[in-house]
């Protein structure tokens, strides 16, 4: 019979690591549990019937879908250029694109006011966006599109340039090579980037509050409705928060399914 | 110029590297040898039209692919070259048969789906791998990938075949079988083919002439025996001595 191996220092280390990991999982899960716990069915019914709810949810979905469409339409060519260009200016642009990720949203909001406000940089052109639905979309676009561009550029960088040369040699025009070969191969990366961007746009709060304000039906998205509800009715804020969390969870599940579908196709 | 002959003179600058050479040949395969960074892959890409060129005269089977003097440079898709890169460049999101049929599905050469599948299947069959048709790329062995890539290149009936180290990614035993198959197919192909290789056994099996590149220039060309008799560099001596 072999002697039982003594617990190695490595296994002690792995228990400590497991404990650390578990405490983070707990910290991430607890608020969600609390959120579900603290709303009764009656609260939920009352919250969903509140006059603030439907316009805020509709506005959130509408603006975030528009900003996502703009992000993909404008961000894909930009990501392609960032991934394929070796020029120094491309690296500079890359840093510029990443800046909104590290700049606090409140700063972005103020900066947008300074740009598109009546007294702003583009004011003399007669352009005044603040406190409109367009302002909500612009704020979402600025804070969320960098996440997509970054993910898409990384996906494009992983493409083997030879696959594109081969596609061309087989008769594909440059556009065909991109649409039929590059985009499908980079697909999973693009989907991840797009859902990150959408989630970020859906949750956008700081820049929207400063730049677009909190006008019901016009600029009051779900996060702003939570903020407004909190001032008078905590229960209501909790219900709104629960709905927003559910939308986020649905987004995550949808993303997983889309990725799995993509993978099983090849 | 006869039906299978070709000639190319190319001058291109890629960063610090300069490609400057003249080559010609006929339907007999030409093996390109040289150290890493000698310009073999760049030459293939230049012929395919995939890199920016300063000056080029490329004529294959009487058709001008590029001529700086005449102001002609056909885009890649119009050159009818079968390009098989080193990693094969297979499209991971498509099945084997859709990879092979890709060249018959582009706007330049669109063929009805049934006919496309028939011709792709025939191309696979010609390379003894008809059974791979419905497989995914990710599940193929190196030798299978090599055949699929070759079938895909041949399906467009290329005037010129460019193979970049077609056997390098294979293990020793597979390499032997695939080398024999490749030699048989190139004999049947009867059109110009340029093959980058690091293995003198490929040259022998393919009955190829040899062209030695060094720093973007041709330093020696001829039959294997010529190279053996008077190798132009230590690299050539090492190459011919290895078999």
* CB-based contact, A167 to chain B, within 8 Å: yes
What is the Cα–Cα distance from A218 to A201, expressed in whole angstroms? 16
Residue of B nearest to A183 (CA): B93
**How much is the pLDDT for B2?**
55
* Cα dihedral A211/A217/A222/A228 (nearest 10): 80
What pLDDT does residue A266 have?
A: 45
Q: Which of B166, B128, B127 is nearest to B146 (CA)?
A: B166
For residue B186, what pLDDT band results from cuts at 50, 70 and 90?
A: confident
Q: Which of B160, B95, B39 is nearest to A266 (CA)?
A: B95
Calpha distance A1→B101 (Å, rounded): 62
Per-residue pLDDT reduced to its tens digit, B34-80 = 999 999 999 999 999 999 889 999 999 889 999 999 999 999 999 99
In this prediction, residues A108-121 reach a mean pLDDT of 91
State whether ipTM is beyond 0.90: yes
Which pLDDT tens digit goes with each residue over A200-246?
Answer: 999 999 999 999 999 988 999 999 999 999 998 888 999 999 999 99
B89-135 tens-digit pLDDT: 999 999 999 999 999 999 888 999 999 999 999 999 988 889 999 99
pLDDT surpassing 90 at residue A55: yes
Give the angle A123-A126-A128 at the CA atoms, nearest 5°.
Answer: 65
Position A125 scores a pLDDT of: 82
Give the one of B50, B77, B137 whose C-beta lies nearest to A173's C-beta.
Answer: B77
Sorted by sequence, the CB contacts under 8 Å of residue A107 that are 6+ apart come out as none
Judge whether B37 is closer than 8 Å to chain A, CB to CB.
Answer: no
Report pLDDT digits (tens) over A6-45.
666 778 888 999 999 999 999 999 999 998 888 888 888 8
Residue B212 and residue B197: Cα distance in Å, rounded? 11
Torsion over CA: A91, A93, A97, A102 (sign): positive
Check: CB of residue B207 under 8 Å from CB of residue B223: no
Whether residues A165 and B45 touch (CB distance < 8 A) is answered with yes
Distance between A162 CA and the closest CA of chain B, angstroms:
6
Picking from A165, A181, A266, the nearest residue to B48 by CB comes out as: A165
Is B172:B139 a contact under the CB 8 Å cutoff? no
In chain A, domain spans: 49-150+190-265
* Confidence at B143, pLDDT banded by 50, 70, 90: confident
Handedness of CA A235, A236, A242, A248 (dihedral sign): negative
Q: Are A78 and A147 in contact (CB under 8 A)?
A: no
pLDDT 10s digits, B8-35 = 999 999 888 999 999 999 989 999 999 9
Kindly state whether A179 is in contact with chain B, defined as any CB-CB distance less than 8 angstroms.
no
**Contact yes or no for B91 and A167 at CB 8 A:** yes
Between 3.40.605.10, 3.20.20.100, 1.10.3720.10, 3.30.565.10, what CATH number should domain A49-150+190-265 receive?
1.10.3720.10
Residues 181..210 of B with a Cβ closer than 8 Å to A: which? none
Please report the pLDDT score of residue B241 as a whole number. 84
Domains annotated for chain B, with CATH where assigned, are 6-241 (3.40.50.300)
How far, in Å, CA of A137 to CA of A198, rounded? 12
Nearest Cα of chain A lies from the Cα of B159 at a distance, in angstroms, of 12
Site from A160, A165, A170, A178 to mutate, B interface, most B CB atoms within 10 angstroms = A170
| Sign of the torsion formed by the C-alpha atoms of A16, A22, A28 and A31 | negative
Between the alpha carbon of residue B166 and those of residues A141, A142, B195, the distances in Å are 47, 47, 8
Closest chain A residue to the Cα of B48, Cα to Cα: A169
The answer to whether residue B243 scores a pLDDT higher than 50 is no
Q: Which residue is it, tokens 């949203």? A: A105
| CA closest to B153 among chain A residues | A170
């Amino acid at each position: 019979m072999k002697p039982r191996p003594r617990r190695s220092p490595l296994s002690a280390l792995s228990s400590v690591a497991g404990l650390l990991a578990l405490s983070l999982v707990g910290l991430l899960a607890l608020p969600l549990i609390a959120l579900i716990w603290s709303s009764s069915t009656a609260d939920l019914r009352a919250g969903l019937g509140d006059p603030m709810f439907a316009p805020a949810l509709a506005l959130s979905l509408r603006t975030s879908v528009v900003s996502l469409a703009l992000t993909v339409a404008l961000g894909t060519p930009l990501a392609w250029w960032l991934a394929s260009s070796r020029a120094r200016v491309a690296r500079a642009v890359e840093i510029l694109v990443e800046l909104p990720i590290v700049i606090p949203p409140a700063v972005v909001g103020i900066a947008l006011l300074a740009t598109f406000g009546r007294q702003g940089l583009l004011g003399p052109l007669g352009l005044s966006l603040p406190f409109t639905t367009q302002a909500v979309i612009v704020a979402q676009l600025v804070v969320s599109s960098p996440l997509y561009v970054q993910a898409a550029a990384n996906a494009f960088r992983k493409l083997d340039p030879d696959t594109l040369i081969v596609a061309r040699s087989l008769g594909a025009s440059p556009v065909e090579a991109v649409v039929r070969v590059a985009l499908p191969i980079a697909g999973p990366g693009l989907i991840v980037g797009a859902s990150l961007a959408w989630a970020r746009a859906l949750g956008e709060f700081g820049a929207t509050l400063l730049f677009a304000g909190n006008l019901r039906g016009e600029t009051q998205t779900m996060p702003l409705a939570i903020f407004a509800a909190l001032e008078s009715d905590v229960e209501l804020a909790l219900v709104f928060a629960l709905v927003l969390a559910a939308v986020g969870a649905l987004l995550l599940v949808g993303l997983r399914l889309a990725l799995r579908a993509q993978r099983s196709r090849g | 110029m006869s039906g299978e002959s070709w000639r190319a003179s190319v001058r291109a600058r890629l960063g610090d590297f300069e490609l400057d050479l003249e080559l010609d040949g006929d339907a007999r395969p030409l093996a390109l040898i040289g150290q890493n960074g000698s310009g073999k892959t760049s030459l293939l890409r230049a012929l395919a039209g995939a890199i920016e060129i300063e000056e080029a005269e490329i004529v294959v089977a009487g058709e001008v692919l590029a001529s700086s003097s005449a102001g002609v440079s056909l885009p890649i898709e119009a050159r009818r070259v079968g390009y098989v890169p080193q990693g094969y460049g297979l499209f991971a999101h498509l099945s084997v048969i859709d990879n092979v049929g890709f060249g018959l599905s582009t706007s330049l050469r669109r063929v009805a789906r049934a006919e496309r599948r028939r011709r792709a299947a025939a191309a696979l069959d010609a390379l003894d791998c008809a059974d791979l048709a419905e497989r995914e790329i990710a599940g193929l062995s190196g030798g299978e990938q090599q055949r699929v890539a070759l079938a895909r290149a041949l399906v467009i009936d290329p005037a010129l075949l460019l193979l970049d180290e077609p056997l390098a990614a294979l293990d020793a035993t597979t390499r032997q079988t695939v080398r024999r198959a490749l030699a048989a197919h190139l004999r049947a192909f009867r059109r110009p083919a340029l093959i980058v290789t690091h293995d003198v056994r490929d040259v022998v099996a393919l009955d190829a002439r040899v062209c030695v590149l060094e720093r973007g220039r041709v330093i020696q060309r001829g039959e294997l025996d010529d190279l053996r008799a008077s190798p132009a560099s230590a690299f050539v001596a090492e190459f011919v001595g290895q078999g």
